[in-house]
Amino acid sequence: MSKIDLSLKNLDELFPDNFSQEQIAKAKTVFLKELALLSHKFYGGKMQTLPKAGVYGFNWFNVYYTPGVSKISTTIRDNNDTSFEISNRGNMVAVVSDSTRVLGDGDCTPPGGMGVMEGKAYLMKYLAGVDAVALCVDSYNKKGEHDPDKIIEFVKMLQPSFGAVNLEDISQPNCYKVLDTLREECDIPVWHDDAQGTGSVTVAGLINALRIVKKEIKDVKIVMYGAGASNATIARLILQAGANPENVIMFDSKGGLHKDREDIKSDARFYRKWELCQKTNPNKVNDVMEACKGADVLIALSKPGPDVVKPEWIKNMGTKPIVFACANPVPEIYPYAAKDAGAYIVATGRGDFPNQVNNSLGFPGILKGALLVRARKITDEMAIKAAYSMANYAEKKGLSPDYIMPKMDETEMFAYEAADVAMEAIKNGVARIELTWDEVFNRTMEDIKQTRATIDMMMQNNFIEKPQEEMLEKALKVAIDAVK
């Protein structure tokens, strides 16, 4: 068994030399899952609450609480917008989920999404200096059904305490009603990261993949496998970014989306899918193999793989095919298998493979930009602007088939993204205040640096305890044993 570097670099090298690529890919997944469970038990979760104001003597409690705090209450009473600057509301996001569509695991019961929601909060803080709270809610009604109106009412009620809301892991069709209603009826940004977030980063990856293969988005044939909230929103944003709807074919579990899909038309809850039925796939193609013939791009966000996307589909594609296999936690086809089938560029949602197309590259910077100008909503134009911000940042670093997206450790990218999104919010007329691009960029970088310095200080002083070596070794043993 290899010695494990605490940084978890070069995961492939942890496993025996005689392991095949498929065994290594499976073992990495088992290792990361097992280590997640052990580390979450070790830490008791990932987030905590700490003050950001100092205590310099006992009377400071009279400043922070009574009687001094009365002035804060009356100031906000007289002008609610002051709550963004004299409370933590201006940098605070609620991460809200009913846990009905958690990654690839489906309905995990209301508290089952806490690990993911805390993860969102952690990434927001570390990557963009945004404070966030995980809020998993019970959306069951008296009939034992998940009721989207309960989530809508909950989010409306919490608005006064937050600067933005990140919706997460809400199953379709409820997710469409929840997002579209709250976007229109709330006075703060409500963002569905599985939809708009995944859409934004996927458009970013597609922009650069097409730059590499020297193809225009208006000309390419795109096959989309999976028609959930993520892929449906990706399709909408791709069309807004210039794709020809006649060149787009989307599949759900019953076949291609097109105008003859009466099952979708007859269910008003799936109105977003019906919109795509009316716009795309004019030839009413129902077979994936046929759809992939000569296709330039295959974007899969369906169910965890491997072996969900078939090598034969990729072999049937056109020149220099682009394959995005973004199901979590296991892609629909492993990158090595997609490459063996002829894919020129392959992306997944995971950071342990090249080309991570994951919404973690989007939501921290996007929400930071929206918060800093106190936006009332995040428009589709802001999401597309973020996509070009990510894509252009990576292009400046130098594109290659294994580098189409920025990486999560490229800190400045999040500040660029925040600034670009903030400027688009001002342009779209949804910002409460106006800042310059430099002001947003500099503020974001300052907040990121402060967060990182705080975490480093806590680690150095053992306020954040180092994981035990036995914990990593146990996770590795479980992974190796699982795939032998």
Q: In angstroms, rounded to a whole number, what is the distance separating the alpha carbons of residues 327 and 165?
A: 24
pLDDT of residue 305: 87
pLDDT of residue 2: 52
Q: Give me the number of domains the chain comprises.
A: 1
In the numeric block, the tokens 């640096």 are attached to 449
Residues of the domain holding 154: 60-188
pLDDT at 103 over 90: no
Average pLDDT value for the chain: 95
Residue 474: inside a domain? no
Q: In angstroms, rounded to a whole number, what is the distance separating the alpha carbons of residues 185 and 370?
A: 17
pLDDT at 1 over 50: no
pLDDT at 3 over 80: no
Residue 175: inside a domain? yes
Residue 400: inside a domain? no
Q: In angstroms, rounded to a whole number, what is the distance separating the alpha carbons of residues 331 and 303?
A: 8
Here the CATH number for the domain that contains residue 128 is 3.40.50.10380
pTM of the model: 0.94
Residue 283: inside a domain? no
Q: In angstroms, rounded to a whole number, what is the distance separating the alpha carbons of residues 213 and 319?
A: 9
Which residues, at least 6 apart from 480, have a Cβ–Cβ distance to it below 8 Å?
Answer: 1, 15, 16, 27
User: Quick check: 443 and 372 in contact, CB under 8 A?
Assistant: yes
pLDDT tens figures, 63-95? 999 999 999 999 999 999 999 999 999 999 999
Closest by alpha carbon to 331, among 363, 356, 314?
A: 356
User: Quick check: 431 and 422 in contact, CB under 8 A?
Assistant: yes
What is the CB neighbour count within 10 angstroms for residue 464?
A: 14
Closest by alpha carbon to 327, among 297, 355, 360, 301?
A: 301
Residue 113: inside a domain? yes
pLDDT at 224 over 80: yes
pLDDT tens figures, 166-186? 999 999 889 999 999 999 999
DSSP 465: P
Residue 42: inside a domain? no
pLDDT tens figures, 373-430? 999 999 999 999 999 999 999 999 999 999 999 999 999 999 999 999 999 999 999 9
Which carries the bigger pLDDT value, residue 366 or residue 173? 366
Residue 182: inside a domain? yes
Residue 125: inside a domain? yes
Buried b (16+ CB within 10 A) or exposed e, 182-192: bbeebebbbbb
pLDDT at 221 over 90: yes
pLDDT tens figures, 249-301? 999 999 999 999 999 999 988 999 999 999 999 999 999 999 999 999 999 99
Q: Which residues participate in catalysis according to the annotation?
A: 65, 120
